[in-house]
Structure 1
Amino acid sequence: MGHGGDVIAELTTDHEEVELLFTRLEELPPGDPRRKLYADQATIELVRHAVAEEAYLYPAVRTHVPGGDALADRELEDHASAERTMKDLERCEANDPEFDRLISRLMTEIRTHVADEEGNLFPRLRESCSAEILNELGNKVRQAKKTAPTRPHPSAPDKPPANKLLAPGIGTVDRMRDALSGRGKDS
């Protein structure tokens, strides 16, 4: 959940953890029920990560990075597309023919998004911000992930202040649903 370090280190570690879940999922044969478990775990991590980015990273990009508005808008579009895919995936079991199509789409969307963030956005943010700002953002992102939703909510707001106000309440409901259903837990 929280890894430490500045915002770039925190989010890069999240990217690596999701990639590991994708790799584990890809190693399993189609229809294996563990594919659904890994897809749910990836969704939980991706939603928490996206909510934290939307609350703190993208506003900082808008403020500090030249051309940051366009950059942040593009990243938000990526998030919206991935969130719609995750919402569709949520309805599928591992043996559903749609599952393989949707998980492949999600992995492509996320891998493309990660490559853009790590290759373009993060270097530009590092150039534009002091170490103090990056560390402060890292702390804010870690805090946001603790209360963030764990399920996709495509119609929820993705920009401050509405997202910061609603995310903790939605997150509480999601975590209660996850606890009751066992979603996201290793069986």
Structure 2
Amino acid sequence: MGHGGDVIAELTADHREVDDLFAEIEKAPAGSDERKKLADRLTIELVRHSVAEEEHLYPAVREHLPQGDAIADKELTDHSKVEQLLKQLEHRDADAHDFDKIVAELRFEVTSHVHDEETNLFVKLRQTCSAERMEELGDKIRSAKKAAPTRPHPGAPNTPPLNKLLAPGTGFVDRVRDHVTGRGK
């Protein structure tokens, strides 16, 4: 969850973790409890990552990049699609008839989003932001992930200031629920 380095190193490491979790889900026996547990871990990582990007990366994109508003809005639309799929997945057991279809659709959306971020957005951000700003954003991303929700909340605000105000409280409630149910262990 916290890797160190500037914002791009942090988020890229998250992307590789998510790739690994998709691969583990694919290897797990169809319909198994292991597959559902891996999907829960994937959900936790994706939600934390998305919330941190929404709180800190996309405001920086709006501030530092030409046409930053349009870029950030597109990224938020991608997040919304992913969050809707995560919400569907949250309510499915691994033996549900559409579980694997939802995972496949989720993987497609996440992979497309990651590719776009890594080949376009991150390159542009590195060209326009100082090394100090990139490090500062990395620290903010790591801090935000620690307090972020662990479950999808599609109706929650995804832009400042409301997301920064509500996410820690929602995150606390999610972590309590996870502890009580054993989710994500």
Normalised by the length of structure 2, the TM-score is: 0.99
Give matches, 1:22-171, under 5 Å.
Answer: 22-171=22-171
2-structure distance, mates of 1:39, 1:117: 23
2-structure distance, mates of 1:28, 1:48: 24
Where 2:98 maps in the other structure, the secondary structure is helix
1-structure distance, mates of 2:37, 2:106: 15
What is the letter of the counterpart of residue 111 of structure 2?
A: R
* Structure 2, gaps ≥5 residues long: none
Q: 1:99-157: per-residue Cα shift (whole Å, max 9, x none)? A: 11111111111011000000110000000100000000000000000000000000000
Residue 2 of structure 1 and its aligned partner are, at CA, apart by 1.0
Number of residue pairs the alignment of both structures matches: 185
2-structure distance, mates of 1:100, 1:20: 17
Matched, 1:11 2:11: yes
Residue 29 of structure 1 and its aligned partner are, at CA, apart by 2.9
Residue 172 of structure 1 and its aligned partner are, at CA, apart by 0.2
2-structure distance, mates of 1:138, 1:41: 22
1-structure distance, mates of 2:29, 2:37: 13
1-structure distance, mates of 2:166, 2:154: 13
Normalised by the length of structure 1, the TM-score is: 0.98
1-structure distance, mates of 2:173, 2:96: 27
Give matches, 1:170-181, under 5 Å.
Answer: 170-181=170-181
1-structure distance, mates of 2:93, 2:137: 37
What is the letter of the counterpart of residue 38 of structure 1?
A: L
Question: What do you get for the CA RMSD once the two structures are aligned?
Answer: 0.6
Where 1:95 maps in the other structure, the secondary structure is coil
2-structure distance, mates of 1:111, 1:39: 16
What percentage of residue pairs aligned between the two structures are identical? 61
What is the letter of the counterpart of residue 156 of structure 1?
A: A
Q: Which stretches of structure 1, 4 residues or more, deviate above 3 A after TM superposition?
A: none
